Copies of this chain bind each other. A is one copy, B any other.
Amino acid sequence: MAVSNQSQPTLARYDTGEAQCPYRLVLEHVTSRWGVLVLIELLDRSYRFSELRRAIGRVSEKMLTQTLQTLERDGLVHRDAKPVIPPRVDYSLTDLGREAAEQVRALATWTTERMEDVEKARRAYDEART
């Protein structure tokens, strides 16, 4: 049971071989496809599940669930399930998560800022081998 979700996804794209270096796993989690987007969204405010799903867009329930569970287990995301009907679950960043999210956002921001240079480099690269 352990992780509770389907077959303990780990959200690691690749487990770096073995137990090699555990920090790699965390890095995988925060830089994973949806991990990045979740962290950045939650940097603004807390979100409900569906709300977050809409905000990110194009994410399946399954993947969002997996991502949130993994991040929660790592202590980066706080899950607040209110015992009401219909169910209401709020997700927010922990202090630890906020630190991670800021790093990730910095990287994402850098990427968008330097996108021009990257695309220029790509064109040069592609053209050089026609």
Q: What 1/0 mask marks residues of chain A from 44 to 69 whose CB sits below 8 Å from any chain B CB?
A: 00000000000000100000000000
Chain B residues closer than 8 Å to A108, beta-carbon distance: 23, 27
Chain A interface mostly: helix
Chain B's closest residue to A73 (CB) is: B125
Inter-chain contact A26/B74, CB cutoff 8 Å:
no
A104 contacts which of B22, B74, B107, B124 (Cβ < 8 Å)?
B107
B13–A118 touching, CB < 8 Å = no
Number of copies: 2
Q: Are A96 and B122 CB-contacts (below 8 A) given A107-B27, A108-B23?
A: no
A117 touches which one: B30, B96, B117 (CB < 8 A)? Answer: B96
Which of B4, B106, B119 is within 8 Å of A129, CB to CB? B4
User: Per a CB cutoff under 8 Å, which of B74, B100, B111 touches A122?
Assistant: B74
B115 close to A26 (CB less than 8 A): yes
